[in-house]
Amino acid sequence: MNELYVGIDDTDSPEGMCTTYITFVIINELKDFGFEIASYPRLIRLNPFARFKTRGNGAVSFKLIVDSQLKKDEAKKIILDAVKNLSEMDNENTNPGVVFYEAKSINGQMVMDNRLPVFATRAIKEILTIKEAEKLAKDVNAEIHQFKKGRGIIGALAAIGCYLRDSTFELLAYRLPENYGSARKINPESVVHMDEITYPQTFDNLDEGYMAIEPHTPCPILYGIRGESPEAVLEAHNLVESLEPIEGYFIFETNQHTDMHLQKISKISDMKQFACYIINGVVKDNPRVIEGGHIFFTLEDSSGEIECAAYEPTKRFRNIVKKLIPGDKVEIYGGIGTQETLNIEKIRIMGLAPLFKEENPLCDCGKRMKSAGAGKGFKCIKCGNKLRDGQKLRIEIQRDINEGFYEVPPSARRHLSKQLIRMAKKSHDCIY
């Protein structure tokens, strides 16, 4: 028996389609022709700052069990025909890539070339070129198929190579093609009920009462339910009442919500644009709110400083950021995008600086004194007492935030960002 890894990426555009849907069509067809798919197909999210991404920079891979060269060729034809026919080829930025890769048998064990997982980690944390992907494919003997510019081979190779030490699952329900682009019809109460029953085994189902499972693009997806296991997302799917027919659903294993994109780094000066980090520092200035409701503050350490941002879509999370003051010790989880600010995904407040208010001194009679004019001290308006050399009193006041972790709401969460509810859990190995 031979294992054939298949990677697919860059088939969609903002106007439509979705690489997961093409994979759903392909796998159903392969199954109809008697092919066996090993385990769950995988949806791998790559660098959120990749320039040519359509939405969430996702690529897909799966593993086929094939017993002859003839069957292998038959499977490849089914896959390549589907990508050619279903991809949004007319869009300038759609440049599909398909990769086939066979692991080598070493001492009876199928082993993947180590350069593939290394490349996948880089595709999640850095920006790569098509040339690098072509070179890797040559080095590891992977077969690549590039449509148009074929940029999709970057994601396709990374989706094959990505090693999942921690993973989650997403069930995607697909609409009938005649409904694409129209308002989605899902019973919201059924989603509330589903969340009550399945959370935290499923997560990010609702956001302040709104259905977070529903995309807002013309893509084929009716809803996506994310959770810890295939069983959990399936149970949740069975509780959701869809008011329009679905073509079918598919469960993907994924690196979503694993924080795989973050690099722990010790110096602000070592941070680079288009990468995501965990960085410790001290708040340098008071947070500033600008037009549009975006909030910024400066984070500093002994190596330098960086502007941190909580943009308007992070909604109530901004109420936490607003309460920071100079001297607060924080750990920021986030990435540096086109604006060159560190976009906060999560914040851990590690130490709160003391906050003081200033008050005029009290008179012997018990009344609070008033200023007697600039440089003239204080006077009591009740008994006329004067305090020429008096100083304002500095009184420490209670901060109205606590140390600990805070996160953006589901609607503003990056696909890769690990929810606090998951952070308490031990990461687990997965079978692939």
224 vs 334, beta carbon nearer ligand ATP:
224
Residues 352 and 369 sit within 8 Å (Cβ to Cβ): no
Site for ligand ATP in 386-415 (CB under 6 A): none
In angstroms, the CA 189 to CA 194 distance is: 9
Q: Per rule CB under 6 A, is residue 58 in the interface with ligand ATP?
A: yes
User: Shortest approach of ligand ATP to residue 69 CB, angstroms?
Assistant: 28
Q: Per rule CB under 6 A, is residue 151 in the interface with ligand ATP?
A: yes
- Considering only 28, 39, 55, 393, the residue that binds ligand ATP (CB under 6 A) is 55
The contacts of residue 384 (CB under 8 Å, 6+ apart) are none
Amino acid at 88: E
- Considering only 26, 44, 112, 154, the residue that binds ligand ATP (CB under 6 A) is 154
User: Shortest approach of ligand ATP to residue 233 CB, angstroms?
Assistant: 18
**DSSP one-letter code for 242:** B
Tally the C-alpha atoms within 13 A of residue 60's C-alpha that lie toward its C-beta. Answer: 25
- Considering only 22, 25, 40, 54, the residue that binds ligand ATP (CB under 6 A) is 54
55 vs 316, beta carbon nearer ligand ATP:
55
* E strands present in 228-373: 246-254, 262-264, 276-283, 288-289, 295-301, 304-310, 329-336, 342-351, 355-359, 370-371
The contacts of residue 37 (CB under 8 Å, 6+ apart) are 27, 30, 31, 62, 63, 64, 65
10 vs 259, beta carbon nearer ligand ATP:
10
User: Shortest approach of ligand ATP to residue 97 CB, angstroms?
Assistant: 6
Closest listed residue to residue 60, CA positions, set 93, 77, 82, 90: 82
Q: Per rule CB under 6 A, is residue 256 in the interface with ligand ATP?
A: no
3-state secondary structure string across 67-97:
CCHHHHHHHHHHHHHHHHHHCCCCCCCCCCE
- Considering only 7, 41, 48, 155, the residue that binds ligand ATP (CB under 6 A) is 155
Residues 45 and 57 sit within 8 Å (Cβ to Cβ): yes
User: Shortest approach of ligand ATP to residue 19 CB, angstroms?
Assistant: 4
Instruction: Look at the alpha carbons of 261, 203, 20, 188 in this order and tell me if their dihedral is positive or negative.
Output: negative
Binding mask 97-136 for ligand ATP (x = CB under 6 A): --------------------------x--xxx--------
61 vs 198, beta carbon nearer ligand ATP:
61
**Site stretch for ligand ATP (CB under 6 A), options 9-17, 34-42, 73-81, 294-302:** 9-17
Q: Per rule CB under 6 A, is residue 421 in the interface with ligand ATP?
A: no
In angstroms, the CA 186 to CA 211 distance is: 9
**Site stretch for ligand ATP (CB under 6 A), options 51-59, 74-82, 275-283, 290-298:** 51-59
188 vs 215, beta carbon nearer ligand ATP:
215
Burial class (CB in 10 A: 0-12, 13-18, 19+), 95: buried
98 vs 380, beta carbon nearer ligand ATP:
98
Helix (H, G, I), strand (E, B) or coil at 383: coil
User: Shortest approach of ligand ATP to residue 33 CB, angstroms?
Assistant: 25
58 vs 224, beta carbon nearer ligand ATP:
58
Q: Residue 63 has which token pair? A: 């593993």
Kindly state the helix (H) or strand (E) to which residue 110 belongs, with its residue range: strand 109-111
**Site stretch for ligand ATP (CB under 6 A), options 44-52, 295-303, 349-357, 391-399:** 44-52
Q: Residue 251 has which token pair? A: 């469960």
Site for ligand ATP in 270-299 (CB under 6 A): none
Say how many residues touch ligand ATP, by CB under 6 A. 24
52 vs 199, beta carbon nearer ligand ATP:
52
58 vs 410, beta carbon nearer ligand ATP:
58
Binding site for ligand ATP (CB under 6 A): 9-10, 12, 18-19, 46-47, 50, 52-58, 95, 123, 126-128, 151-152, 154-155
